[in-house]
Structure formats: C-alpha cells, structure tokens
Amino acid sequence: MPMAVTINTLREYKQKGEAFAALTSYDATFAHAVSSAGVDVILIGDSLGMVLQGHDSTLPVTMEQMVYHTRAVAKGNQGALVVADMPFMSYGTTEQALNNAAELMRAGAQMVKLEGTDWMTDTISALSQRGVPVCAHLGLTPQFVNKFGGYKVQGRDEHHAEQMIEHACLLERAGADVIVLECVPAPLAARITQAVKAPVIGIGAGADTDGQVLVVHDMLGLTPGRPPRFVKNFLAESDSVQDAIKAYVDAVRRRQFPAEEHSFQA
C-alpha cells in the first residue's frame, strides 16, 4: 500500500505549488481503483443521492446512508485521504454536527465536509477542537439548491466575490483544514486560493486551485444526460477505467485539466 495521504500532505502540495487530484467514490471497488491510480483524496459525496439513487438533488440522502458508504469506501481505500459529506440538515446545530461527524469518523472518514458560509464558524470550531478535520464547501452548495433557485455559478459580481473571499478566510480561522469551491468563476477561485493557507479544491472553479475534484461517474462518461461544463470524459481516450483515472490524475498534476473550456469566467 502506498504511503497514506494526510492533511499535511495536502498542505505540502500547496506550499510547493503542486496540484493534487480528488475523486468521489461510494463503494470499496471504486475506492480501491481510484486510490491505486494515485488519487490523493476520496470524497464520499452526498452526490450519491443523484449518481446512485437517481434523485434530482442531494437532499434525500440520510446519515445512515452516508455512514454505510463511508464504511465501504474505507474498506477499499489504498492510502487516499477519505473525506465524507455531512448530508442535508445533519449539522443544523453544533450538537448535531458533533454527533453525526463522530459517526462518520468511526465509519472510516478522516475528514468531514460541510456546506455553508459564515454561520458555520462555531460548528467548525467545535469540530476542530474535538479532533475532527473539516472541509468547508463554498460557492454552489448543492444542499442550498432550493434557496439558489437552481444550480447556478456563484460569485459572478464583485460584491458576492468579496463576500466569498471573506467567508473563506473566516472559515479557515474557525478551523477549516480544506476548502472546496464549486462553480465559481476561475479568477475568483484563484483569489481565494491565494487568500487562504488551507488547500483549496475546485470543481468548476478553474485551474488555479490547489486541487481538483470530479464525480467519478462523470469523468468516466457514465452519467446520463448532458454533462456539466466542468466535466471531461477521460474514458473516451483511454483503454480502461484504471487508465482513465490515471489520465485524470496526470492531467490535474500537470495543470492540463481543467482547461479554459471547463471553467467559468466572471
């Protein structure tokens, strides 16, 4: 088994200016495949509600389901850092967040991911103080799809851009170890990446973040319907799933993915 990736590994990547790759996985088989191919971070996303369960949002996913999939991924993982999403309304209060994060950590997660802005500072601080590493998710936060009125790029105007930079800094000070930016204009994502010391992972956020993440089914061209702009089908140019994952990792590390056509501008 390769040397395990830790939070310190990601910090070292950022300090050296080296990009790192993340992918979602929801079971032991995919976890083994992606971690063996050199993926640094496995995200057990509540995206499983759409990818595996067929829902039109992530909202129906439960804590019980997230614990189940986290346990499965942990069994197959070969040294990647395992990050588990906390599903909709599982961290509405700090007490809820502590109890539910403990369940995910016991199942094999090494970090939990929460969606939201400055209102999360107390919760992130409480988790961090109790030994739970936290990934903060900003930009298009799918659990807020009904508030946003759909899946839309966030931070296009300067007011909201400045607000997102401020929130990233606040969440880092509260204890966030990693920040995910989803569907954010590339120039803004670059500004946030420079503004914080925490490693920043982008999805639809341009090439200047510290790392990249995609849904594994998307990058293998398996998702029905029209793929999002930020997705590339790596299986189309590969002979196998394993080769496709390796090609993704290589493209991320060389900063060849995402290209301009996979990014949004202000």
On the question of a cis peptide bond just before residue 2, with omega within 30 degrees of 0, the verdict is: no
φ and ψ at residue 235, rounded to 5 degrees? -75, -25
CB 200 within 8 A of CB 216: no
Q: Running along the chain, 266 residues long, what does each successive block of 10 average in pLDDT?
A: 88 98 98 98 98 96 98 98 98 98 98 97 98 97 84 87 97 98 96 98 97 98 91 97 98 96 87
Residues annotated within a binding site = 46-47, 85, 113, 115
The CB-based long-range contact list for 152-158 (8 Å cut-off, 24+ gap) reads 152/183, 153/183, 153/184, 153/185, 153/204, 153/264, 154/182, 154/183, 154/184, 155/184, 155/185, 155/188, 155/266, 156/185, 156/266, 157/266
Residue 265 is predicted with a pLDDT of 86
Residues annotated within a binding site for 3-methyl-2-oxobutanoate = 46-47, 85, 113
Catalytic residue among 182, 237, 260, 261: 182
The residue with tokens 């992918």 is 23
pTM: 0.96
Residue 45 is predicted with a pLDDT of 98
Residue 3 is predicted with a pLDDT of 84
**Separation between Cα atoms, residue 159 and residue 170, nearest integer Å:** 17
Nearest CA to 69 out of 100, 112, 26 is that of 26
Our answer to whether residue 182 is catalytic in this structure is: yes
Residues annotated within a binding site for Mg(2+) = 46, 85, 115
Residue 1 is predicted with a pLDDT of 53
Nearest CA to 203 out of 150, 148, 142, 254 is that of 142
Residue 2 is predicted with a pLDDT of 63
Helix (H/G/I), strand (E/B), else coil: 163: helix
